[in-house]
Amino acid sequence: MSTMTATDPKATILPLLEGSTWPGAPEALAHAQALPIPTSKTEAWKYTRVAKLFNQPYAAPKGDATVDLPARMPFDTTRVVFVNGHFRADLSDDLKGQKGVVIDSLQHHLAHGPVKEHYGTLAPTGERLFTAMNTASPTDGMILLVTKGVKVERPIHVLHVTTWERKLVQPRDLFMLHEGADAEVIIEHIALDTPDAFVNSVRECVVGEGARLTIHKLQHESNGPANISFDGVRVVPRAISASAPRHWMAHWSATR
C-alpha cells in the first residue's frame, strides 16, 4: 500500500511502482517514496529540470501494440525488439542460434544463479530516485550472458519502440560477459509524437577479465518521450567496456 499523500509531488508515479515481484522491489519502493525529486540544487541535476515529469498522470505500459518496425541495420545483426518496455519474441530474431550466448527477456531468468548474483549490485537505490523507481517496478529488459571465451557472432541490435500513449516505461537490462568474452550491442530507442511518455532505464554490465563489451546508444525520437538512464558497470582488470552514445533527434534525454 502506498504511503503517499494527496500533495505528494510524486503522486503521479508511486501507484505504478507498487506490487512488483522483481528482486529488491520492496526496498526500492520505500526509497522511491522517501527520496525527493532532484532540483537545480542537486549537483548531478544542476542543469536538468525533471520536476515537470511528475506533473502528469501515467499509465502502466502495454506491450501488445501493433507497430511498424524500421528498416534493419545496413549490416548483419541479431535484432531484439521491445515495445513499450515489453519483450516481443514475435518481432525479434531467433535468439538461440549461438552456443554459449544467452539473449532473452530478463524477467524469464530472475531465478537463475548469475542473475541472482549480479542483479541490483551496480544500481544502488538509496540515493537515486530514478534508479529506485526502476528497481521498484521494471517493465522488462534484456539479459545478455556470454560464457568464457565466446565472441558473439553478430552485433545485437536492441530496438525499443515507444508508442503514443502517456505511460511510464522502465527497461531493465543485465549484461554479463565472462572471462575473454566479446560482444557488441546497439541500443536504439525510436518513437514518434510521444511527448507525454516517460522512459526510465537502468542497465547493469559485468565485464570479466579480458572480456570486451561495446555499447552504442541511438535515439531516434522526433517529439518523443523523456528519456532518463543509469548505467552501472563493473570491469575487472584487463577487461574493456566502451559506450559510444549517438543521439538522433532526441526530444529530452538525461543520463545519470
37 domain residue, yes or no: no
**Looking at the 3D structure of the chain, how many domains does it have?**
1
Could you read off the pLDDT of 210-253 as tens digits, one per residue? 999 999 999 888 778 999 999 999 998 776 776 654 433 233 34
Which is more confident, 244 or 51?
A: 51
Nine-digit cell at 248? 538522433
Residue 240, sorted as left (phi over 0), alpha (psi -120 to 50) or beta, turns out to be: beta
C-alpha cell read off for 144? 545478455
> Is 142 contained in some domain?
yes
**Does any domain span residue 43?**
no
* Residues 181, 211 contacting (CB under 8 angstroms): yes
7 — pLDDT class (breaks 50, 70, 90): confident
Domain that holds residue 154: 61-119+138-255
Classify residue 94: in a domain, yes or no. yes
Q: Is 86 among the domain residues?
A: yes
Is 55 part of a structural domain of the chain? no
Buried b (16+ CB within 10 A) or exposed e, 213-225: bebbbbbbbeebb
Would you say 45 and 52 are in contact if contact means Cβ atoms under 8 Å apart? Answer: no
pLDDT at 40 over 70: yes
Determine which of 24-38, 180-194, 233-247 has the lowest per-residue pLDDT on average.
233-247
Q: What is the model's pLDDT at position 177? A: 98
Beta bridge partners, 137, equal none
Specify whether the CB–CB gap between 210 and 239 falls below 8 A.
Answer: yes
Looking at residue 249, its pLDDT comes to 29
Bridge-based pairing state of the strands 226-235 and 198-207: parallel
Structure confidence at residue 251 (pLDDT): 34
In a domain, 229, yes or no: yes
pLDDT, average across residues 6-27 = 93
Strands (DSSP E) contained in the chain are 78-83, 86-87, 101-105, 142-146, 156-162, 168-169, 172-177, 182-192, 198-207, 212-222, 226-235, 240-248, 252-255
Q: What is the dihedral of CA 121, 161, 227, 174, to 10 degrees?
A: 10
Q: Look-up: residue for cell 503521479?
A: 12
| Burial of residue 70, with CB atoms counted within 10 A of its CB: 0-12 exposed, 13-18 middle, 19 or more buried | exposed
Q: How confident is the model at residue 256 (pLDDT cuts 50, 70, 90)?
A: low
pLDDT digit string (tens) for 126-185?
999 999 999 999 999 999 999 999 999 999 999 999 998 899 999 999 999 999 999 999
pLDDT in tens, 59-118: 999 999 999 999 999 999 999 999 999 999 999 999 998 999 999 999 999 999 999 999
Per the domain annotation, does 159 fall within a domain? Answer: yes
